[in-house]
Amino acid sequence: MSIAQERRLVTAIPGPGSLERLERKKALVADGVGTTLPVFVAEAGGGVLVDVDGNHLIDLGSGIAVTTVGNAAPGVVRRVQEQVAAFTHTCFMITPYDGYVDVCAALAELTPGVHAKKSALFNSGAEAVENAVKIARVATGRDAVAVFDHAYHGRTNLTMAMTAKNMPYKNGFGPFASEVYRAPMSYPLRDGLSGEEAAARAIDVLDKQVGAANLACVVIEPIQGEGGFVVPAPGFLPALAAWSQEHGIVFIADEIQSGFCRTGDWFACDHEGVVPDLVTTAKGIAGGLPLAGVTGRAELMDAVHVGGLGGTYGGNPIACAAALGAIEEMRTHDLVSRAREIEALMETRLGALRAEHDVIADVRGRGAMMAIELCRPGTTEPDPARIAAVAAYCHRHGVVTLTCGTWGNVFRFLPPLSIGDALLTEGFDVVAEAFAATR
Ligand SMILES: *Cc1c(COP(=O)(O)O)cnc(C)c1O
């Protein structure tokens, strides 16, 4: 690793070089494209981002769970360099190439279940979700789509309809796609229900308000991402999957944020042995290059007529090379186990923090996908102001942290699995300081 794995601040955050570039950004980039931490990055690797002023920041966000194998991971760089020198694009639908099929083979092997599987590749998570719905509709001959409270599935028209939160994702962007219905999610901190009880509540809503026979698919994040890292109570996902199967509804797991070693297993569904009919993947799949997939039961995937799935760039050869490099890194470095080690470290640190600060109402998550939810002490009333103050402190002190949640009151931790224990520990030292300083 050529980048020193340490936090080192040589200017204020943001520094003069970043401030100058922020002016330029302000003039040239649409205001609608926001910024979480206003430093311009020059290079990154391991668990560190280096900005244009030479500051070394600790990365606890992985560019939103994307650089799971680390930034510019050696296996990704090598394969991308080879591919970009060989050819950059043919369009897989015009003249195919091996990389695309190799990624589909890896997806068939790694996603939950041992049934015959096929895949189709796309550019972004939202595109994968849209295509999963298209496949489910053709396969079932039905229209209705079930989604959940706090869900996030993307920013295209159909996926905005599927996403729960208005600001900033939907406000003013309607009208939205029809035939999307929302059911209550299992949210143990807020509903106190067992998984079975929460599933019965959701199923009752769908059955009475939509009708099982009208549903093409149930789409769910096995651990919710943007919605607040909500981990459903045990039994919720298996009960929903069983009900879907019983009624011929395609059960779609959106593993775009939770997939590819992130939760301490290849996929979050694996923790409860849930086998979805279709799985959507993106983010961590290709170490930072844009790639997404829909993988599922061969007979469902093949329900669509020839030419019905695709796109100009979907499964671009360079993105596929990056995915093969990322998957190789995950396997050779056993990143499933590394995510579990990171979970143990984060759980200890976050548990200690919770014991000290009664504003922390919940510690939850799996693997290297953990979060704390902040509420006014003794209540479940969200405290987004405190979290903004804590995050601002972390950013000023060189730790990249992300928030999420319907109420913006969840602090989420998504370190790259290439981060070392010392750096991770230092990152959480700063988080602890931030809580103490904003008391
Ligand atoms: C990020 C995300 C998406 C959308 O992916 P994009 O690549 O941003 O389109 C969809 N579903 C989940 C669960 C996500 O986390």
Is the domain of 125 the same as that of 34?
A: no
Decide whether any atom of ligand 1 lies within 6 Å of the 124 Cβ: yes
Residue with the smallest CA separation from ligand 1 atom 8 is 125
Q: By the 8 A CB rule, do 431 and 399 touch?
A: yes
- Residue 66 resides in a domain: no
Is the domain of 404 the same as that of 389?
A: yes
Q: Which of 268, 287, 290, 283 has its CA nearest to residue 327?
A: 287
HSE toward the beta carbon, residue 384, CA cutoff 13 A: 7
φ/ψ of 31, rounded to 5, equals -60, -25
- Residue 7 resides in a domain: no
- Maximum alpha-carbon separation in the chain: 62
- Residue 295 resides in a domain: yes
- Residue 433 resides in a domain: yes
What is the per-residue pLDDT across 44-97, written as a single tens digit (0 to 9) for each?
999 999 999 999 999 999 999 999 999 999 999 999 999 999 999 999 999 999
Is the domain of 261 the same as that of 372?
A: no
Decide whether any atom of ligand 1 lies within 6 Å of the 163 Cβ: no
- Residue 76 tokens read as 């990704």
pLDDT of residue 439: 87
* Domain-terminating residue out of 332, 363, 381: 332
Is the domain of 324 the same as that of 338?
A: no
Going by DSSP bridges, is the β-strand pair 292-297/48-51 parallel, antiparallel, or unpaired? Answer: unpaired
User: Quick one: angle between helices 98-110 and 317-332, nearest 10?
Assistant: 40
* Domain-terminating residue out of 307, 332, 357: 332
Is the domain of 354 the same as that of 291?
A: no
Which of 229, 257, 267, 313 should be mutated for ligand 1, with most atoms under 8 A from CB? 257
Is the domain of 107 the same as that of 29?
A: no
Q: Which domain holds residue 300?
A: 74-332
- Residue 2 resides in a domain: no
* Number of domains composing the chain: 2
Reported residue count of the chain is 439
How far, in Å, are 69, 258, 307, 399 from residue 90 at the CA level?
Answer: 27, 31, 16, 41
> Starting from the edge strand earliest in sequence, which strands make up the sheet with 402-404, in order?
360-366, 369-374, 410-413, 402-404
pLDDT of residue 319: 98
Please identify every stretch of the chain with a pLDDT value under 70, giving residue numbers as ranges.
Answer: 1
* Ligand 1 centroid, distance to 347 Cα (angstroms): 25
Is the domain of 91 the same as that of 43?
A: no
User: pTM of the full predicted structure?
Assistant: 0.98
pLDDT of residue 2: 87
* Ligand 1 centroid, distance to 153 Cα (angstroms): 5
Is the domain of 352 the same as that of 381?
A: yes
pLDDT of residue 1: 57
Q: Which residues contact 33 (CB under 8 A, 6 or more apart)?
A: none
Which atom of ligand 1 is the closest one to the Cα of 225? 15
Which atom of ligand 1 is the closest one to the Cα of 159? 10
Element (H, E) at 373: strand 369-374
* Domain-terminating residue out of 332, 358, 374: 332
Is the domain of 22 the same as that of 97?
A: no
